[in-house]
Structures are given as C-alpha cells and as structure tokens.
C-alpha cells in the first residue's frame, strides 16, 4: 500500500473529517524507522508494560498492515525494541504505532518500516502475556478499530473508517 500525503488527504476529504469517518491523531508521536510515510489496514492491540502479545502478532504475516498498540501511554518501559522492529520488517508489516515507548532506537531506525511512538526508554517490558487483541483502542484523541486504515507521514497520522482514494 503506497502512502498518501496526509495534508492533501485532509484537504480533499473535508466531508469525511466533518462526519468523523476520518480522524487526525493528536501530534504526540515521534518518528522512527526508515519509512517516514506508510499506510495500511489496522490491527489493534491493548497491552500495559508487557510485550508478549506484540511479538505474537508481529510473528504473523503483516501483508502491509499497521499494528496499533495501546500501551496505556506508559513511559516507564518499552514494548517494542530492535528485535521486534526487525521481525515486523521481515514479516511484511508496513508500520507500528505505539501509544507508549520503544527502545533500541538505532536498530529500529535501520528497519525498513515506519514506527511512531511517544518516546524511547531503555527498560524492557514484562513478559506475562497480558492484553487484548483486535479490540477498539483510544489513542491520541481517536477511537481506533481493527480493520480501519491508517496513513502516516511527516505531517501526522490519519485514521479512516475505510481506505481513502488518492
């Protein structure tokens, strides 16, 4: 899935913005990874300071999808690191958006995927396997559902109920 220009998408989809079919996430994320622009259907995950389910999902074929992780906004540890970044790249994920922290920033910046996160933290997460897959998550001012579409570039992140036409 080719990324599209988020500013142009907003300009040409005013009706979708007004109706709530298209959301602009609050600009709280830092940009990581080689792909500054990425897009794809969303897979949602809700965890807190635990990344077992993150690995489980990233071990599946990404097929150009984007993993959106609600890590509760925790800044106390990272739920994605360099190994998971490489796994996401190798399994064909377009990107990962983390409402929380990542670590191994230099390794992630070397991966051919797009990553957005609140910040970085060198502390690793717990390994209890607690969390929920494919559930609605509330991140950066928007309720995000599994199967919606995410578009990210240097200007910001959009979430659409359906795939946007370029």
pLDDT in tens, 69-128: 999 999 999 999 999 999 999 999 999 999 999 999 999 999 999 999 999 999 999 999
Residue 104, annotated ligand binder? yes
C-alpha torsion sign, points 34, 38, 42, 46: positive
pTM confidence score: 0.96
Residue 25, annotated ligand binder? no
Residue 103, annotated ligand binder? yes
Residue 83, annotated ligand binder? yes
* 107 class by beta-carbon count within 10 Å (0-12 exposed, 13-18 middle, 19+ buried): middle
What would you report as the CA-atom Rg of the chain, rounded to the nearest whole angstrom? Answer: 14
Domains of the chain, earliest start first = 6-160 (3.50.30.40)
């Amino acid at each position: 899935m080719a990324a599209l220009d988020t500013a142009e998408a907003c300009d040409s989809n005013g009706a979708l913005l007004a109706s709530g079919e298209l959301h602009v996430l609050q600009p709280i994320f830092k940009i990581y990874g080689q792909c500054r622009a990425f897009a794809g259907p969303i897979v949602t995950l809700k965890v807190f300071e635990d990344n077992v389910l993150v690995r489980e999902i990233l071990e599946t074929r990404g097929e150009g999808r984007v993993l959106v992780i609600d890590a509760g906004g925790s800044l106390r540890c990272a739920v994605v690191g360099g190994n998971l970044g490489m796994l996401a790249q190798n399994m064909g994920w377009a990107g990962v958006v983390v409402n929380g922290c990542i670590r191994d920033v230099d390794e992630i910046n070397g991966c051919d995927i797009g990553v957005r996160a609140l910040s970085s933290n060198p502390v690793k997460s717990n390994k209890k396997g607690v969390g929920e897959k494919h559930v609605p998550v509330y991140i950066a001012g928007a309720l995000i559902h599994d199967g919606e579409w995410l578009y990210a570039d240097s200007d910001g992140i959009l979430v659409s109920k359906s795939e946007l036409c370029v």
